[in-house]
Copies of this chain bind each other. A is one copy, B any other.
Amino acid sequence: MRMRRHKSEWKLTMKPITYDNAPDHVRAVFDDIKMARKVPDVNNFWKYLANEPRMLKHVWDSLKDVMGPGHLDPLTKELIYVAVSVTNNCDYCMASHGAAARAKGATDEMMNELFAVVGLANMTNRLANAYKVPVDDAFK
């Protein structure tokens, strides 16, 4: 009975791409992130996403465009990001956007109230499903 190839023959997890070993087009995105966010280095998220340079660029272009000043203030947008990340149980995203919310002024009281709203919404979402509540005419 022939055994399958040994695991060391393939690379199982992606490694982060650091600035020093990044190709030029990745480094250009890293530079733009550092400049826009006034940070000395990019977060782990960007270093891993750099394994797919197309998405690195698209995701950054989108976030830069949408998360900055706009129709909602930047703090509100970070809170929304945290709300989605808690609902989906994404540890990294809770940590990074939680930190971003803090940096933009979120207090403990605001974070606690955010968690309360997220918990309640997840509950009432299922209660509305369970009872198959028809949409009120007033909401149409």
Contacts and interface: CB of A to CB of B under 8 A. Distances in A.
Contact of A84 (B83, B97, B108): B83
Interface of A: 1-5, 7, 10-14, 35, 37-40, 43-45, 48-49, 51-52, 54-55, 58-59, 61-63, 65-67, 70-72, 76-77, 79-81, 83-99, 102-103, 107-136, 138-140
A125 B83 contact: no
A43 to B, nearest CB: 5
B58 A62 contact: yes
Nearest to A76: B76
Q: How many copies does the complex hold?
A: 6
Given A92-B135, A93-B125, A97-B121, 9 more contacts: A3-B39, A10-B99, A11-B102, A12-B139, A12-B140, A51-B108, A51-B131, A85-B125, A118-B126
A124 to B, nearest CB: 6
Given A89-B129, A90-B89, A10 B123 contact: no
Contacts of A39: 3-4
Given A84-B125, A85-B125, A108 B14 contact: yes
A123 B47 CA distance: 17
